[in-house]
Chain A
Amino acid sequence: MEHASFIIGSYVVTFGSIALYVMWFLRRSRSTAQFTDEKDKPWI
């Protein structure tokens, strides 16, 4: 594949940044949930 570094780099940037963001907000939610009651989670 020609220009593989640019092409694969764009996929790495895309899915890497999404994965980092998802990990950040899931971890944050998990730590926040320790200080909340069950009534604060009506979706469960």
Chain B
Amino acid sequence: MSATSTPTGTRATRVLGFATLALTVWLIVFGLFVSAEDVVQGSTVRIMYVHVPSIWVAYVAFALTAVVSAVYLSGKNRSLAWDRVAGASAEIGVLFVAISLITGSLWGRLTWGTYWVWDARLTSTAFLFITYIGYLAVRGLGGTFRQRARRSAVLALLAVLEIPLVHFSVVIWRSLHQESTVANSGTDVELDGLMLFTLFLGIVTFTMLFVWMVLHRQRGLALQDAVDSHGLDVAIEQRRQEAEVR
């Protein structure tokens, strides 16, 4: 391993990282300069290419957190690796919800004339963000690795129930936020081919970025657990020696 390489990297993550970087450059060029302007929103539609993929990755991240938490709790495989994937995924999900809220707020200022309204979609997304901040706080409480894994897994299975609430909030309640247009064939909104391609490119790029980040972050958490575990072993050994001296 060279001095500049990361201890959590492998050949596969490096290949994935370079591919994601190339797609990111492609997305920025298409999103900012190549794709067409919207007939109604004009150039502000360009925010969509980072806003929609951000919330998509947040949904995927929180869903993954719930799935690996369920695997851990099911008892079939009680490896702490599942817990670390859950923790890494939730942390990344929180980042992408925050990005989605900020970019949505900037977009809202241009289209609605305000940065924020207490609308069903915006409020439920903010609530989702706060819930997973709480999840990360719970992970940071004391106790053994097993206690951390068990309590955070239970919380992850409850928190994920908010995702359908956020997603369908625009249907359930009267909302300023528009309904989904690409995945919903019932609307009369049609995206230009290049706009649709750029949006798809954004979703693929952000998904690959998410996979790369989870791989690195969960290995980083494994290293942290190893250091904490060694520290505990050293403390126990010191106590044992102190007891023998007495």
B43 at the interface (CB under 8 A from A): yes
A3–B10 CA distance with the chains assembled, in angstroms: 41
Chain A interface bracket (under 10, 10 to 19, 20 to 34, 35 or more):
20 to 34
**With A11-B32, A17-B99, A22-B213 known to touch, is A29 a contact of B47 (CB < 8 Å)?**
no
Query: Which residues from 1 to 44 on chain A have a C-beta closer than 8 Å to any C-beta of chain B?
Result: 1-4, 6-11, 13-15, 17-18, 21-22, 25-26, 28-30, 32-33, 35-37, 40-41, 43-44
Chain A residues touching B, majority SS: helix
**A13 touching B223 by the CB < 8 A rule?**
no
Tally of B interface residues using CB under 8 Å: 39
7 A-B contacts (beta carbon < 8 Å): A2-B44, A3-B43, A10-B102, A15-B50, A17-B95, A30-B7, A43-B8
What CA separation (Å) do A37 and B6 show in the bound complex? 15
Given A2, A10, A25, A40, which contacts B217 in the complex, CB threshold below 8 Å?
A25
List residues of chain A with CB within 8 A of the CB of B226. 36-37, 40
Known: A6-B109, A25-B217. A33 touches B51 (CB 8 A): no
**What residues of A have a CB within 8 angstroms of the CB of B42 in the complex?**
2-3
